[in-house]
Structure 1
Amino acid sequence: MAVFRDFNFKLLVVEQLMYIDETLTPRFSIEDHMRARGIDDLHAYVEENDLEYQVLDEARAYFERLEIGDDLLASVKRLTFDGGNQVFMECAPVWDGEDDLFDVRSLDDLELVPNLKRFLGARSLTLTVPDAIETLRARGIETIA
């Protein structure tokens, strides 16, 4: 199984496979997960415990343990880095997108998605990976704002 070095890069792959392509199942829902633990009002729980600007431990544990097979990784042709990604909302349900919580810090995991052709939101990567555009283009990956 693939081992990701950058948790946030893995989340971009999960976004594509689980929430867009729907090929990585079951679809994770933090609300369902927390409801199973007896927490019915997720937003109140987050606010009462000052968890607004962090990945909930339950979500982090789930996505860190989540194994993604090589066949699914090979099916990834597009990644999107956008503050509105569903996977981000599952990790931090009241996150406002105004900080670097989900910034990708490394593109070392590109080798795990060998058929990647397009990267949407690539310009945002340059805040934490200055040579991101050049790295992507050198691999033949189309970069879109």
Structure 2
Amino acid sequence: AIEVSAHKPYVRGEGIPADKYTIKPIDEEEIEFADFGFKLSIIEELMYIKGLLKPKFDLYEFADWYKDREIDIDEEGYDPIDEVIQYFKKLPIPKRLAPEITEIYQDGGNDIYMNLSPFSGGAVEFWDIECSDDIKHFPNLKKATLCYAKEHICDELIILGVDAEWI
């Protein structure tokens, strides 16, 4: 058998829209989070589970897109990558999406954590929920399954009317 193919050399970042991961201000009210770990749990639900927050962040694509320096995921992926942390910290979450949150489910294999630190093995405290203040933004939050939270958070969520448990 003879196979004929054309090889197009890979060009870093080619095919990724130039503004795909550029954070743009939104023309609506946004949620002001007190706790980064809580925000990450909300991003998991809105971006990866419900598909309501776009673009869907992909670490490997982001590393190809990012121009300020070369991000070596194989080398850096054992700890959270600073540029990725900054992306999620700056990412605006519209208030209109808050009613969509009825549950949060934390697991070491969640897409959000795999995009922050794909080789960490899940045993890290970088993204623990440290305070429950942000629950005030999510009136429909009724269930929380936790693995990245300080010990008091589960009890606080229960007191606030959320069916909360440890994974």
Letter in 1 for 2:135: L
Q: Does 1:4 align with 2:13?
A: no
1:83 is the counterpart of 2:108? yes
Q: Hey, which of these two has a bigger chunk of helix by percent? A: 1
Matched, 1:133 2:154: yes
Structure 2: how far apart are the matches of 1:78 and 1:19? 13
Q: Which amino acid aligns with 1:91?
A: L
Aligned length: 135
After TM superposition, give the deviation of residue 133 of structure 1 in Å.
Answer: 2.9
Aligned to 1:66: 91
Deviations 1:77-98 (A, max 9, x none): 0001211111011111221112
- The structure with the larger Rg is 2
Match of 1:98 in 2: 123
Matched residue SS, 1:31: helix
Query: Counterpart in 1 of 2:4?
Result: none
- Is residue 2:109 matched to residue 1:109? no
Give the aligned residue type for 1:6.
Answer: D
Aligned residues of 1:53 and 1:101 also touching (Cα < 8 A): no
- Paired residue type of 1:81: Q
One-letter code aligned to 2:89 = E
Runs of 4+ in structure 1 deviating by more than 3 angstroms, as ranges, are none
Separation in 2 of the partners of 1:60 and 1:46? 14
- Tell me the CA shift for residue 61 of structure 1: 1.7
Structure 1 counterpart of 2:5: none
TM score, norm. by length of structure 2: 0.72
State the alpha-carbon separation in 2 of the partners of residues 133 and 34 from structure 1: 35
SS at match of 1:119: strand
Counterpart of 1:46?
A: 73
Matched, 1:121 2:159: no
Higher relative contact order (CA 8 A, sep 6+): 1
Partner of 2:51: 22
Change (3 A) 1:46 1:63: same
Match of 1:95, SS state, is coil
Provide the C-alpha distance between the structure 1 equivalents of 2:130 and 2:78, rounded to a whole number of angstroms.
Answer: 18
Unaligned runs of 5+ in 1: none
Q: Percent identity at matched positions?
A: 29
Compared with structure 1, are the counterparts of its residues 4 and 56 closer, same or farther at alpha carbon in structure 2 (3 Å cutoff)? same
Normalising by structure 1, we get a TM-score of 0.82
TM-superposition CA deviations, 1:3-29 (whole Å, max 9, x none)? 111111100000001000111111111
Are 1:13 and 2:42 counterparts?
A: yes
